[in-house]
Structure 1
Amino acid sequence: MFAQITSAMIRAILMAMLVATPALVLPDVTSDAQQFAFICAFFAAALVFIEYFSAYPSILEFRFAPPFNRIRFMAVFFCVFALSSAFTFSSATNVANGLMHAIATLAGELTDVPYSPVRLVLLTLPATADSEHVNMVRMAAGMSYSIATLSLVLFYFVVRVLDWPTRNGAFNVWVNLPLFDPTAGGDVLPRLTRDGRVNIVLGILLPFIFPALVELTSNSLGPALWSNPQTLIWTMTIWAFFPATMVMRGIAMLRVANMIDQDRRRAYAEAQNLQHI
């Protein structure tokens, strides 16, 4: 019990740090914005604590199949911290902020190519935007999209090379997929395969669809998204990592479906061997 409480508390503290990082690092953040960030951090920490303190998960998938959630959290945390540090470089010129600013600038330049999601994000900016504003959006979009892509590559490596999740011991499908209803109808194998493929397709398309939606609502929504550094960081983080999480979920579900298919084939083969004896 003590170990479970400690583990839940540590995860809750880390989640609170993630949510509060931009408000703590960025300069010229108003007191109202800081208070709102701290309230969001408190609720996020409480949610994580309740989720990990309970014996069985309620909404968090693959809780007992590390490092699925650890990869997602570390990637998001590094992205938020790196962007916050990069945007602070103009007012606090130190080595760490300079390094993050240089990495974010390089990531933005490398990903700002024709027909890329980063270029589509830049096209949503108004024509009157100055060069400094455009560079900030390029840095945020390029950095977040690059880290999200690297997290996908890392998870694919864990699945294909490290044989996730079987190396962690027995894998319980129903505990690790609490939002998947096995009694909804039909065989679970084609349903898992279908849901996995749908998640991958949507995850690939969403970075291209989101800028189009912003462009359609640019008169009311666009300026609010790009004008504030804190809002820009969270907008670009969600834009990059929500689709990446869907792709990771799709890869994981296809992997689980493959495991179920292999177990069935093995069981059928053993049954046939027993019939011939």
Structure 2
Amino acid sequence: MIKRMVSAGARAFLVALVIAMPAMMLPGVTVDNAQMVALLALVAAVLTFVEYFSVYPSLLEFRDAPPYNRMRFLALFVTIFVMCLITRGQMFPTTLTELLTRIGGTVGTAMDFPFSPVHLMVLLAHEDAPIEKINLLRTSAGLAYVVSLLALLVFVVFVRLLNWPIRHGAFNFWVNLPLFDPTAGGDILNRLKRDSHVNVVLGFLLPFLIPAILKSATVFAYEIPLTDPQTLIWTMSAWAFLPASLIMRGVALMRIAELIEERRRRAYAQADLHAPA
């Protein structure tokens, strides 16, 4: 129990750190903003601690199938941390921030071609926005997208080459998919494959749909203040992280479906082998 408590506490601290990172690293944060961020970080930490300290699952998927959640957290952490450094470097430049800005600018420019997701995010900038803000938007979008793609690629390598999730033992379906009801109707194999396809398709479409939704919001309802550093960081992080997370979930569900199908095939073959002639 002590080990589980320490592990849950460490995860809760890291989750709270990610949420509070922009408010901690960026200057000019108001007291009200800091209090709101602290409350959100506390709530997220408590939920994470309860989830991992509990023996039985509740909400989090693939809790005991590393490195699925670790890859997602690491991608989000790196994205937010790098963008915080670049944004802070606009006001307090250092050698590290200048290097990251140069790398991000190169990546963002390379990915800023017509109809690309990065280009669509850059188009969200206001028409009279200064060139520095547009360059920061392009740099942030390029870096966030690349980090998410790298995390997705690494996870696919784990699945296809390192035999995830059964490399270190059996896969517990109930613990790792607590929200999936196997008795809801229909063949579980078909439902897993259907959900996998839906997640992958949504993951590919969201980088294009999110800019369109944000642009529509600026026209008909509310303009997203991307000139605000914290808003920029969280918008870019969500835009890059959510699609990659959905694709990772789709790949994971398809892998589970393949394992179930393989076990069924072996069971049917064994039953045919022992069937009376």
| Common topology (TM > 0.5) | yes
Deviations 1:65-104 (A, max 9, x none): 0000000001100100000001111322223322322232
Given that residues 104 and 143 in structure 1 are in contact (C-alpha distance below 8 angstroms), is that contact kept between their aligned partners in structure 2?
Answer: yes
2:99 is matched with 99
1:35-184 mapped onto 2 (5 Å cutoff)? 35-184=35-184
**Cα distance in structure 1, aligned partners of 2:10 and 2:153:** 27
1:271 is matched with 271
Given that residues 203 and 246 in structure 1 are in contact (C-alpha distance below 8 angstroms), is that contact kept between their aligned partners in structure 2?
Answer: yes
1:10 is matched with 10
Deviations 1:38-58 (A, max 9, x none): 111111111100100100221
**Cα distance in structure 1, aligned partners of 2:103 and 2:15:** 24
Name the aligned partner's letter for residue 223 of structure 2: G
Given that residues 214 and 224 in structure 2 are in contact (C-alpha distance below 8 angstroms), is that contact kept between their aligned partners in structure 1?
Answer: no
Q: Which runs of 5+ in 1 are unaligned?
A: none
Tell me whether 1:246 sits opposite 2:236 in the alignment.
no
**Cα distance in structure 2, aligned partners of 1:195 and 1:223:** 32
1:205-224 mapped onto 2 (5 Å cutoff)? 205-219=205-219, 220-224=221-225
Q: CA deviation at 1:266?
A: 0.3
Q: CA deviation at 1:276?
A: 5.1
Deviations 1:188-234 (A, max 9, x none): 0000000000000011001101111111111443342x121111100
* Partner SS, residue 64 of structure 1: coil
Aligned residues between the structures: 276
2:204 is matched with 204
Deviations 1:159-196 (A, max 9, x none): 00111011020001121111111111011000000000
* Partner SS, residue 167 of structure 2: helix
Deviations 1:2-48 (A, max 9, x none): 00000000000111111111111112222222221111111111110
Q: Which ranges of 4 or more aligned residues in structure 1 deviate by more than 6 Å? A: none
User: Given the two structures, how large is their TM-score scaled by the length of structure 1?
Assistant: 0.96
Q: Kindly report the root-mean-square deviation, in angstroms, between the aligned alpha carbons of the 2 structures.
A: 1.3
* Partner SS, residue 218 of structure 1: helix
The share of aligned pairs that are identical, in percent, is 47
